[in-house]
Amino acid sequence: MGVSGSGKSTIAERLAQRLRWTYEDGDRFHPASNVAKMSAGQPLTDEDRWPWLRAIADEIDRVCKAGEHAVIACSALKRTYRDVLVHGRTDVRIIYLEGTEPLIAKRLAERKGHFMPPGLLASQFKTLEPPDSRENPVTVSIDAPVDAIVDNIIGQLGLSPDDGQSTGRVRA
C-alpha cells in the first residue's frame, strides 16, 4: 500500500515473482467510473472507493480460501480502507511503501501512460493514514533500488525467495 507513484505495482510484481506467488494490481478492480474520474483529475471519494475495496477484499478472501498466495498492489490509504480489505484476518499482511512527497512527485512526473495524474498526489498525501503497530505492517522506504526493497520486505516477513510454498499471505 501507498500513494500513487510509490512503486506499488513494480514492488508487488517483483515480490510475487520472487516468492512465486500470484500478482494482482488493485487498479484492475476499479469500476470504469473511478478510472474516468481520476483521469479527469478528480480525486475519488470514499463512496467511490467502497465497491473497489469490496472487490479486492473478495479476491483476498477467494485466494485465502483456496489456500493460495498472492500479492495485491492497492493504495489503501486510510485505516478504514485497510479494515475492509483485511477485516480481521491474521493471515494477510500490509506492506507500506513509504516515501517523501518530493521523491514521489519526481517519479510521477516521469511516468507515462497512467490514468493517475501527478496533480492528485497532494490529495493522496492529505488522505494518507500510515499504518500503525495495531495493523502489524511491514514498512519499507522506497528510496532504494527495487531488488533491495523486495529483499527488505522478504526479510521482514521472515520468508525466503525460494519459499514459494510459504504459508504467509501478503498484500502490498
User: What sign does the dihedral 113-3-140-79 (CA atoms) show?
Assistant: negative
Which of 31-45, 84-98, 148-162 is the least confident region? 31-45
Q: How confident is the model at residue 119 (pLDDT cuts 50, 70, 90)?
A: low
3-state secondary structure at position 138: strand
**Distance between CA 157 and CA 139 in Å, rounded?**
11
The answer, yes or no, to whether residue 30 has pLDDT greater than 50, is yes
- Tell me the average pLDDT across 25-39: 91
**Above pLDDT 70, what percent of the chain?**
88
The confidence score (pLDDT) of residue 12 equals 98
Taking each helix axis from N to C terminus, what angle separates 46-65 and 32-39, rounded to the nearest 10 degrees? Answer: 130
The answer, yes or no, to whether residue 106 has pLDDT greater than 80, is yes
The answer, yes or no, to whether residue 169 has pLDDT greater than 50, is no
The confidence score (pLDDT) of residue 44 equals 83
**Distance between CA 55 and CA 143 in Å, rounded?**
31
The confidence score (pLDDT) of residue 171 equals 47
Whole-model pTM: value is 0.85
**Summary mean pLDDT of the chain:** 88
The answer, yes or no, to whether residue 83 has pLDDT greater than 70, is yes
**Above pLDDT 90, what percent of the chain?**
71
